[in-house]
């Protein structure tokens, strides 16, 4: 009988997850975008871990710097092969958070905003994998990819892939702080504004 009760009982989730889910209870979306990027130990979401999360909110065609996010995550696993790309070494002097705390802050920022990224499916998969380790469901947000949006706006076949560097060159955007999560998120937000204005 206890087995049947547990089977049909609604899962009990922590308050921060319930707060996040409550943002979706009204059918109306916030209309805002949260542009984000993750730096990771590698390119396999089921094997690799988050190193940093950067993000910025875009509202009414403006980048809201005051609503930016930059978090470094305590390294559960170190991959020296990826360190030369993102520059996050094992010994550093900036503050870090445990992965679960980093994800909590991320959820608090993103609310029910549309999540935007460049080739964003990877970043979504990395956050979802972290949520899985926390025994929580996947992200509920709508998702927008700047590569896909560029292809649609310019009537380019959907299999074409442009790098963030290429789109920055197309839109003549300075590529400052590339391969940092916060830097890439800010660049992607600028690309998004260019695309929304087309």
Is the pLDDT score of 166 beyond 80?
yes
118 vs 189: CA distance, rounded Å: 10
pTM beyond 0.85, yes or no: yes
Query: How far is 189 from 116, CA to CA, in rounded Å?
Result: 8
At 75, the pLDDT band (50, 70, 90 cuts) reads: confident
The CA distance from 84 to 106, in Å, is 25
174 pLDDT more than 50: yes
Looking at residues 177-184, what average pLDDT do you find?
Answer: 86
Q: Which CATH superfamily is domain 30-196 in?
A: Ribonuclease H-like superfamily/Ribonuclease H (3.30.420.10)
Q: What mean pLDDT do residues 169-173 have? A: 95
Tokens found for residue 6: 């547990």
Question: Do 65 and 195 meet the contact criterion of CB atoms below 8 Å apart?
Answer: no
Domain ranges of the chain: 30-196
pLDDT tens digits for range 84-117: 454 554 555 678 899 999 999 999 999 999 999 9
User: What percent of the chain has pLDDT above 90?
Assistant: 71
Instruction: Tell me the mean pLDDT in the region 130-149.
Output: 97
Once rounded to an integer, what is the mean pLDDT over residues 31-51?
92
List of residues 6+ apart from 172 with CB closer than 8 A: none
CA dihedral 114, 39, 55, 195 (to 10 degrees): -60
pLDDT in the model for residue 43: 87
pLDDT for the residue 77: 62
- Average pLDDT of every residue of the chain: 88
């Amino acid at each position: 009988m206890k087995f049947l009760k547990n089977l049909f009982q609604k899962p009990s989730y922590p308050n921060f997850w319930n707060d996040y889910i409550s943002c979706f209870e009204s059918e109306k979306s916030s209309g805002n975008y949260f542009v984000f990027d993750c730096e990771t130990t590698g390119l396999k979401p089921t094997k690799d871990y988050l190193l940093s999360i950067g993000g910025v909110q875009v509202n009414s065609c403006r980048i809201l710097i005051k609503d930016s996010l930059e978090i470094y995550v305590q390294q559960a696993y170190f991959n020296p092969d990826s360190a030369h790309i993102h520059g996050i070494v094992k010994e550093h002097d900036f503050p870090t958070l445990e992965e679960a705390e980093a994800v909590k802050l991320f959820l608090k920022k993103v609310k029910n905003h549309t999540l935007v990224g460049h080739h964003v499916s990877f970043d979504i998969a990395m956050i979802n994998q972290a949520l899985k380790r926390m025994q929580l469901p996947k992200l509920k947000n709508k998702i927008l990819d700047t590569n896909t949006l560029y292809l649609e706006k310019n009537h380019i076949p959907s299999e074409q892939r442009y790098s963030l560097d290429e789109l920055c060159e197309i839109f003549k955007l300075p590529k400052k702080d590339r391969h940092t999560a916060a830097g890439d998120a800010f660049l992607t937000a600028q690309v998004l504004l260019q695309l929304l204005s087309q």
